[in-house]
């Protein structure tokens, strides 16, 4: 391709196994040090620093200083969406890692995708909002719009809609879920709803993982608030 964005450069940055491991470690939306990312990738700290420099130059990760430490994050939620999409493609094409474990079912059930809810419960959240008439699907695959009924619903749930509207990111956006292979809710609303689940005590991150564990009361509250009407 002689014109337009250089997708080969981005693909090469993501395609290295060590860099891919570091990027997926950041999919949880948190900030990690170079040493932590090196352990995730199974490489030395010096090698990790070289990879991180390339990822920064390529616009895939960002770095910030906190005291003596340097922390790395994904450069934006668009990077997270690309990674989730690639994971879905790899799963569909049969390129799965043979790394079974007890966390796999939990990851499929509910996990963080950058800063919003993914997995079975993330897809169920979007399905419920669409069927309740709270979100309207657009003509484009990722296009979603919050309806008048939706604004009332999420405001009653404790979401600050004016703050979402003033943010630079879309309020609603569909994000392809690699494990379910259907869309879950991203954008400012997806992030705000996950934060609200945490604040209500409905769910919490499992330390050191991307798993979001819902309590029994949280599951009941989630179903009551977002399950499709009978």
Best CA proximity match to 27, nearest among 163, 141, 186: 186
Helices 77-92, 17-25: axis angle to 10 degrees equals 120
Predicted local distance difference test score (pLDDT) of residue 24: 87
More confident residue, 199 or 174: 199
Q: Are 129 and 123 in contact (CB under 8 A)?
A: no
More confident residue, 165 or 102: 165
CA dist., res. 50 & res. 56, Å (int): 10
Whole-model pTM above 0.75? no
CA dist., res. 175 & res. 80, Å (int): 9
Which string of DSSP letters, residue by residue, matches 136-186? EE-SSTTBEEE-HHHHHHHHHTT--HHHHHHSSS-SSEEEE-TTTSSEEEE
More confident residue, 64 or 219: 219
- Match 């490489």 to its residue by tokens: 43
Radius of gyration of the chain (CA): 18
Q: Are 200 and 218 in contact (CB under 8 A)?
A: yes
Q: Mean of the pLDDT values across residues 188-214?
A: 94
Tokens of 218: 């949280």
Spans of all domains in the chain: 7-75, 80-226
Looking at the structure, give the CATH architecture of the domain made up of residues 7-75. Answer: Orthogonal Bundle (1.10)
């Amino acid at each position: 391709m002689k014109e337009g964005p250089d997708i080969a450069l981005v693909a090469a940055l993501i395609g290295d196994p060590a860099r891919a491991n570091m990027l997926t470690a950041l999919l949880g939306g948190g900030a990690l040090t170079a040493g932590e990312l090196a352990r995730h990738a199974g490489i030395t700290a010096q090698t990790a620093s070289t990879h991180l420099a390339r990822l920064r130059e390529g616009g895939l990760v960002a770095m910030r200083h906190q005291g003596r430490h340097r922390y790395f994050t994904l450069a934006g939620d668009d990077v997270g969406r690309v990674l989730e999409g690639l994971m879905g493609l790899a799963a569909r094409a049969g390129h799965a890692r043979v790394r079974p474990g007890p966390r796999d079912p939990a990851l499929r059930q509910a996990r963080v995708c950058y800063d919003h809810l993914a997995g079975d419960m993330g897809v169920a959240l979007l399905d419920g909002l669409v069927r309740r008439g709270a979100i309207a699907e657009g003509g484009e695959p990722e296009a979603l719009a919050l309806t008048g009924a939706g604004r009332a619903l999420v405001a009653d749930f404790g979401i600050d809609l004016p703050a979402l509207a003033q943010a630079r990111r879309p309020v609603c956006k569909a994000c392809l879920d690699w494990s379910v292979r259907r869309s879950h809710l991203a954008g400012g609303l997806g992030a705000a709803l996950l934060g609200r689940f945490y604040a209500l005590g409905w769910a919490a991150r499992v330390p050191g993982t991307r798993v979001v564990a819902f309590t029994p009361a949280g599951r009941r509250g989630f179903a009551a608030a977002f399950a499709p009407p009978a």
